[in-house]
């Protein structure tokens, strides 16, 4: 049951949504915002959403509503969030994201159904037989996908299953259930919502190499077995410390040639602090190249940033001395990277 506070917040979100302006898009005109760019290019432009600022910060909601045609729950749909105790589901955060999207004409990407990380202690520390664990995984996928059937258009079904050398990650799922858990997860998700698009999602797939080769072989094998896999998500956590993956577009085409969708699902571009004009210009070029790669691939369906503002970025907590990775700064001012994306709309 939702708390009275959260119900009040959701009602407020619904009311404020009715004032949202239509997306700015017109043939031959430069889009005025990212929502307009999305409509002009036909590619969903989205952002990961953190629940705390969504419910507490009006300026955060205003920008999220104005700029994006798609949203992804940053943490609210992960297993430790939705089922912290076995059989006790806490859907409030995920519902807040989905309800906001519905009121503001935004698609929803579900993230994530099967991951090695952010699992509840009752699961990782439990003494389950292999068959019990398989049933727990099946029930989790089925329950979550059914709840949002018709509301979540695409799911990251399996997330980060590869090591950098292309071998499968040694996770709870692989160790106990074997590699067949991947196909099972897709079949269970498809049964729960046959219309949802189902994705493999991972980081460092942007370059052609052992990891992306392994992902390619995985989806080939799944399709050969009749497993309902529909797309591959390239997370795109980039750094100015490393060069831009110049073979990004060609790499995506390897997957679309199989009849799959591709999506850039979690992009950010971090830098070593302090921020300088030169670093912001380089960051803008990385973002521009990434969206250009997506736009050049016929079945690239989505370009989602992993948080749109440096105010709530995950980067400083994980990469010491680095940050400023998003399209908007802490005060929600547009950065050069934002304008570099809009500029692509002038050419289409």
The catalytic site residues sit at 160, 266
Q: List, in order, residues 6 or more apart from 131 with CB less than 8 Å away.
A: none
CB contact set of 95 (below 8 Å; sequence gap of 6+): 2, 10
Which of 120, 218, 107 shows the shortest CA–CA distance to 162? Answer: 218
**Shortest CA distance to 228 belongs to which of 237, 219, 216, 236?**
219
3-state helix, strand, coil in the chain (%, to 5): 45, 20, 35
Residue 345 CB: number of other CB atoms within 10 A? 21
CA distance 231 to 154: 9
Tell me: cis bond preceding 314? Omega within 30 of 0 counts.
no
What is the rounded distance in angstroms from the CA atom of residue 132 to the CA atom of residue 261? 33
Alpha-carbon separation of residue 173 from 139, 181, 216, 238 (angstroms): 14, 7, 21, 28
Are residues 54 and 60 in contact, defined by beta-carbon separation less than 8 angstroms? yes
Q: What tokens appear for 224 in the block?
A: 């050969």
What does the alpha-carbon distance between residue 85 and residue 321 come to, in Å, rounded to a whole number?
36
CB 76 within 8 A of CB 93: yes
Q: Where are the alpha helices (DSSP H) in the chain?
A: 4-17, 34-41, 51-56, 58-67, 79-82, 92-103, 121-124, 130-147, 172-177, 180-192, 210-224, 248-256, 277-296, 315-318, 336-344
Residue with the two structure tokens 């205003």: 62
């Amino acid at each position: 049951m939702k708390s009275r506070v959260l119900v009040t917040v959701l009602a407020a979100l619904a009311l404020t949504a009715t004032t949202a302006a239509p997306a700015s898009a017109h043939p031959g005109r430069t889009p005025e915002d990212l929502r307009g760019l999305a409509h002009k290019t036909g590619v969903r432009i989205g952002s990961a959403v953190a629940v705390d600022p969504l419910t507490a910060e009006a300026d955060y909601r205003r920008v999220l509503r104005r700029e994006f045609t798609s949203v992804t729950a940053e943490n609210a749909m992960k297993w430790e969030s939705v089922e912290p105790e076995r059989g006790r589901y806490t859907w409030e955060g995920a519902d807040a994201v989905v309800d906001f999207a519905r009121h503001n004409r935004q698609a929803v990407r579900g993230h994530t159904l099967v991951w090695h990380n952010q699992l509840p202690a009752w699961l990782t520390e439990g003494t389950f037989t292999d068959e019990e664990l398989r049933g727990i995984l099946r029930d989790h996928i089925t329950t979550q996908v059914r709840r949002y059937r018709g509301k979540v258009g695409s799911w990251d079904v399996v997330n980060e299953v590869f090591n950098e050398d292309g071998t499968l990650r040694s996770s709870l799922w692989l160790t106990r259930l074997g590699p067949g858990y991947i196909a099972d997860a897709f079949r269970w998700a498809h049964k729960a919502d046959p219309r949802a698009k189902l994705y493999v999602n991972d980081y460092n797939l942007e370059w052609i190499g052992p990891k992306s080769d392994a992902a390619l072989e995985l989806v080939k094998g799944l399709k050969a077995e009749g497993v309902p896999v529909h797309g591959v998500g390239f997370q795109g956590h980039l750094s100015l410390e490393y060069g831009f993956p110049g073979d990004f577009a060609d790499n995506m085409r390897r997957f679309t040639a199989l009849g799959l969708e591709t999506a850039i699902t979690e992009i950010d571009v971090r830098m070593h602090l302090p921020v300088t004009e030169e670093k912001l210009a380089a960051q803008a070029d990385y973002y521009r190249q990434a969206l250009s790669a997506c736009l050049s691939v016929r079945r690239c369906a989505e370009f989602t940033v992993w948080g749109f503002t440096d105010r709530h970025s995950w980067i400083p907590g994980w990469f010491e001395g680095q940050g400023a990775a998003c399209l908007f700064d802490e005060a929600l001012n547009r950065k050069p990277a934002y304008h570099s994306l809009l500029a692509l709309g002038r050419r289409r």
